[in-house]
Amino acid sequence: MPRPTLPQICTGTFTVVVSAVALLAVSGSTGVFEVAVLVAFAVALGTLATALLMTLSAQRRTDRGVPAGAEPAREAATVPGPRPEYAGRS
C-alpha cells in the first residue's frame, strides 16, 4: 500500500480538527468519556478522508497508465558517476 502524500495527510488532519471542533461545539459535551468518543469519531473521519484521497489518487494513476505502486522516475535518482561533458578532461 502506498504511503500518503503531504497534501493527503494535511487534508486528513484538517478534517480531524474541523470535525472535532464542530462536534464538540454542537454537542455541548463536558464529560471526559463523551469528549473522548467525539474526538475518536473525528479521528476516524480524518482517517477515512485520507484513505479516500489515496484511493482516488491511485485510480487516477492507473487511468493514466501508470501502475499503482510505480513512482515516476526522478533525475536525481540516477547512479552517480562521471558526467559525459566532463569525460576526457584532466
Nearest of 47, 44, 38, 46 to residue 20 by alpha carbon: 38
Residue 69 counted as domain residue:
no
Nearest of 66, 76, 85, 78 to residue 2 by alpha carbon: 66
pLDDT digits (tens, 9 = 90+) for 50-75: 888 888 887 777 776 665 555 555 55
pLDDT digits (tens, 9 = 90+) for 19-56: 999 999 999 888 999 999 999 999 999 999 888 888 88
The boundaries of the domain holding residue 57 are 29-62
* Residue linked to cell 484513505: 51
Cβ(12)–Cβ(50) below 8 Å: yes
Whole-structure pTM value? 0.63
Q: Is the dihedral of CA 73, 76, 82, 86 positive or negative?
A: positive
Q: Where are the beta strands (DSSP E) in the chain?
A: none
Residue 23 counted as domain residue:
no
> Domain tally for the chain?
1
